[in-house]
A and B are shown apart, each in its own frame.
Chain A
Amino acid sequence: MKTLMGYISGLLFGLGLALAGMTDPARVLGFLDIFGAWDPTLMFVLGGAVVTTFIGYRFVFRQEQPLIGETFQLPTRQDFDARLIGGSALFGIGWGLSGYCPGPAIASIAGLTAPLFAMLVAMVTGWFLARAIPARS
């Protein structure tokens, strides 16, 4: 049951990404290119996603617990540390170079090309590397 719920969520997510044009790096880069021929599409994507989630979460968090899981697992940290800011900066550079953030990169596996494969392998390697970098306490 948990598995089915996970699949449905992933399917909705993948459909949304593809429909929105997020799986097309050219369109994503067009949005990030605010000094060129700016393509506003992604503003609608992010806006639609954030507003929908904001409203939906309001209803969801009125419940005691999720339908299947035991508790809502939410991040509780409030501090701004170097990992958060530095990591986000590195991610932004990688996103700007490729036009892929992790979701679209994985969702595009159906149309796998050598460059996309390289990106995915490097991304997984990067996840392992990030775990090896100790948090300064």
Chain B
Amino acid sequence: MDWIASLQGLVGGVMIGLSAVWLMATLGRIAGISGIVGSLVTTLPKGDSAWRVAFMMGLVSGPLLLMLLGGGLGNVADAPGVVVGQPAGGVGLMLIAGLLVGVGTGLGSGCTSGHGVCGLARLSPRSLVATVTFLACAIVTVYIVRHVIGGGA
């Protein structure tokens, strides 16, 4: 058990929660990334795009700010100080994964943030079903990749 990582996780989680509360308090919006960015890139909603672009900028500048602050907070095991991690696979795998994530969050109207954080906090039954479903499918996928195909690697 890595208590430092757990504590960082808890503090990071609380910050994500504060971000969601802030967005609801100020703009009355759910802080769901696939919703905010997805509708921005697919429909460019008139009068409703600038804050989405700004949100994305903020999202990208978060890890950068952390690096500037010393970067000792990085969570990458083999490269302390690096805040942004290494992708799990090559271009081919990531193309497939990205397509699944895009189609899936598009059809299911939400991802880890919209359903998993905001939806659960609103006690939404649809979000609970979505969260249980994607967590279960992700766990099964990792099991197959690591322990069935990969032989436990």
Contact = CB atoms under 8 A, between A and B. Distances in A.
A13 B93 contact: no
Contacts of B86: 24-26, 113
A2 B55 CA distance: 10
Contacts of A2: 26-27, 50-51
B63 A17 contact: yes
Contacts of B76: 24, 26
A46 B13 contact: yes
Interface string A1-35: 01111111111111111111111111101001111
A126 B101 contact: yes
Interface string A94-107: 11111111110111
Interface in B10-40: 10-31, 33-34, 37-38
Interface residues of B, number: 118
Report the contact-size class of chain A (Cβ under 8 Å from the partner).
Answer: 35 or more
A10 B101 contact: no
Contacts of A69: 26-29
B60 A16 contact: no
Contacts of B44: none
Contacts of A89: 104, 133-134, 137
28 contacts: A5-B26, A11-B61, A13-B16, A15-B12, A15-B66, A26-B88, A32-B139, A32-B141, A36-B152, A44-B13, A54-B120, A74-B30, A84-B108, A84-B126, A87-B107, A92-B133, A99-B88, A100-B97, A101-B33, A103-B112, A106-B37, A106-B60, A107-B62, A108-B63, A116-B87, A122-B102, A130-B105, A131-B42
Given A75-B30, A98-B87, A100-B87, 15 more contacts: A10-B61, A18-B62, A33-B146, A46-B116, A53-B20, A72-B28, A91-B108, A98-B89, A102-B33, A111-B84, A122-B96, A122-B99, A123-B99, A126-B105, A127-B106
